[in-house]
Amino acid sequence: MKKLLLSGAVLSMLVATPALAQGSLKDVVRSEIESKKIELKDAQEKIRATVAKSKEEASTTKKELKDERKEAKDFRSDIAKMRASVASKVFTATIGRLEKLTTRIESRMAKLDASGATTTDAKAFVAIAKQNIADAKTHIATMQAIDISLTSTSTAKVNFDKIKAEAKAAKELLVKAKQNLQKAVNSLAKWEKDHRDKTATSTKSEVN
């Protein structure tokens, strides 16, 4: 009887063991699944954080690049304005010297006219020089009125080209003005030389 009871107990344990083992396996699997879910969630959060950081860095970089471009554009605009300002000052100084020279030549012509000299050619050259200077002033004023702000690349290029064209025209006219004033001086000098030679010849003849 005891042997039968013992065998029944052992049988019961043997039958129950697979059931217990099965239950433990489910718990292990469930635990592992939960653990994997947590790991996956953590990984997703890290990915989202990385993406967000990348976007933020990209946005910062984009802003920095935009700021740098603006600084470069402002710098180029400042350089352009400085060059235009220097050109204007050079032109103004040149015109001032030419006008002073014109005044001295006109004063010399007036004295020669009073002495009976012929200054027709010199006066013509001076008149042309004055017109050259007046035309140069017009080009300079036009150049100074051109907007050189770098609002856009295409507009800036067009305006820079206009400034160069106006500056070139003004320079050429001022060169011509100087040449014409020099011709006036040469004309007056020639008349004075011829007059001295005639006077000397006349004086020599009278002496002889």
Does the pLDDT at position 16 exceed 50? Answer: no
Rounded-to-integer distance, Cα 160 and Cα 170, Å: 15
- pTM to 2 decimals? 0.61
Contact (CB, 8 A) for 134 and 180: no
What pLDDT, on the 0 to 100 scale, is given for residue 174? Answer: 97
Q: Given pLDDT bands bounded at 50, 70 and 90, which one contains residue 14?
A: very low
Report the pLDDT value the prediction gives residue 29, as an integer from 0 to 100.
Answer: 59
Distance CA 22, CA 41 (A): 28
Distances (CA, A) of 28 to 23, 31, 36, 52: 9, 5, 12, 36
Q: pLDDT exceeding 70 applies to what percent of the chain?
A: 63
Better pLDDT: 174 or 24 = 174
> If pLDDT is split at 50, 70 and 90, which confidence band does 126 have?
very high
Q: Greater confidence, 193 or 59?
A: 193
Give me the pLDDT at residue 19, please. Answer: 47
The radius of gyration of the chain from alpha carbons, rounded to an integer in Å, stands at: 50
Residue 119 exposed, middle or buried by CB count within 10 Å (0-12, 13-18, 19+): buried
Task: With cut-offs at 50, 70 and 90, classify the pLDDT of residue 1.
Answer: very low
Q: How confident is the model at residue 183 (pLDDT cuts 50, 70, 90)?
A: very high
Residue 187 has a pLDDT of: 94
DSSP letter for each residue of 61-98: HHHHHHHHHHHHHHHHHHHHHHHHHHHHHHHHHHHHHH
Looking at residue 123, its pLDDT comes to 96
Q: Minimum mean pLDDT among 11-15, 53-57, 98-102, 112-116: which range?
A: 11-15
Q: What is the mean pLDDT of residues 37-46?
A: 78
Q: What is the mean pLDDT of residues 104-122?
A: 93
Query: Quick one: average pLDDT of 79-86?
Result: 77
Q: How far apart are the first and last CA of the chain?
A: 187
Q: For residue 156, give the amino acid letter.
A: A
Instruction: Output b/e per residue, 153-187; b: 16+ Cβ within 10 A.
Output: eeebeebbebbeebbebbbebbebbbebbebbbeb
List pLDDT tens digits, range 147-177.
776 555 567 778 888 888 999 999 999 999 9
